[in-house]
Amino acid sequence: MTTNTLVYIEINNNKIENVSKEIISHVSKNFDDTSVCGFLTVNTTLSESLFSELRQIGLDKIYIIQHEALKDFNVEVFSGVISQLISNIQPQVLLMGATVNGRELAPRIAANLQIGLTADCTDLKIEDNMLLATRPTYGGQMMATIYSKTLPGFATVRPGAFLKRNFPEKNTEIVYFEANFDGVYEILNKTEILSTEYKPQTDDWTNSDIIIAGGLGLKSKENFEKLYKLCDLIGAKPAASRAAVELGWAPSEIQVGQTGRSVSAKLYIALGISGALQHMTGISNAQKVLAVNTDKNAPIMSCSDVAIVADATAVIEALTNKFS
């Protein structure tokens, strides 16, 4: 039986957020026998460029909710109209990015519809038409796979948890959904938006070809400076373990892992990182992992494609000399 999956296409600054494309890529590739539809909210007519991009992201159908009241994000208004759409089309699976807005919207939609929600997932599967959503639990010590007893199976997905792939050609149908906006201005009049600031939820950093990450094995902030220099030299992006961030050796924006960011680099080089589960959660989508560690028994060594027993700083210096 075909599973009907509905994905929230989050649009900011007239662009589709990468996380929406990542979810669609994962579902299209891994959910057998599913029809993948999307929905979005807009306040005005879509631009031609956005329209044509929407037709190229591999969806069978896109539902558009268009109303002037949807200009600025208001969780009460958005969750209300989205809940109407979900009740109307009754998908079996409902997915959205665990973005700033997605994290605010999802619990409200779940409450409106009286359904379960698995938040901040790093993996999704379908078995017997049922959504199995995996996420870290017990402070990241374990991964839990959760299914909801209510329909639709509902999950939010971490930005960067899935690879963005090329989409198959599809003849996407566009449908405008007529939601009921009664009482919406009373809600909007309760608050006044003074200014808004846009921050992309995923960027090129998480999708860089090569990421070089440092951990406590780098020993100092000065050695992180050497890591940055090497990255500049070879066009890689730097990253860090939480332990290194906590010591102030690296900024929190480049922390990888459960409480940092998920990356999907072609090559992830981990220098002096032990491989705690909370760190590994963030690199499950890296295509190849190369670990450098002085301890051959460090957990990361057995989970890497290439493991080198060596001093991390010496490796940075050797590579810097080689490419200078």
Whether residue 261 contacts residue 232, with contact meaning beta carbons closer than 8 Å, is answered with no
Query: Exactly one of 54, 269, 292, 319 binds ligand FAD (CB under 6 A); which one?
Result: 292
User: What is the CA angle 321-323-324, rounded to 5?
Assistant: 65
Whether residue 82 contacts residue 110, with contact meaning beta carbons closer than 8 Å, is answered with no
How, if at all, do strands 130-137 and 142-147 pair? antiparallel
Q: Which of 162, 160, 130 is nearest to 146 (CA)?
A: 130
Contact between 293 and ligand FAD per CB under 6 A: yes
Compute the least distance from the CB of residue 120 to ligand FAD, in Å.
12
Would you state the structure tokens that stand for residue 203, as one six-digit string? 């960027």
Contact between 291 and ligand FAD per CB under 6 A: no
Question: Footprint of ligand FAD on residues 111-150 (CB under 6 A)?
Answer: 139-140
Listed in sequence order, the residues at least 6 apart from 191 whose beta carbon sits closer than 8 Å to its beta carbon are 74
Window contacting ligand FAD (CB under 6 A); options: 60-68, 191-199, 201-209, 253-261: 253-261
Based on CB atoms, which residue is closest to ligand FAD, 50 or 277?
A: 277
Distance in angstroms (rounded) separating the CA atoms of residues 174 and 209: 34
Query: Exactly one of 91, 217, 250, 262 binds ligand FAD (CB under 6 A); which one?
Result: 217
Compute the least distance from the CB of residue 21 to ligand FAD, in Å.
24
How, if at all, do strands 34-42 and 61-66 pair? parallel
Compute the least distance from the CB of residue 38 to ligand FAD, in Å.
30
Query: Exactly one of 82, 115, 244, 290 binds ligand FAD (CB under 6 A); which one?
Result: 244
> Which positions touch ligand FAD (CB under 6 A)?
139-140, 215-217, 241-244, 255-260, 272-274, 276, 278-279, 282, 292-295, 298, 311-312
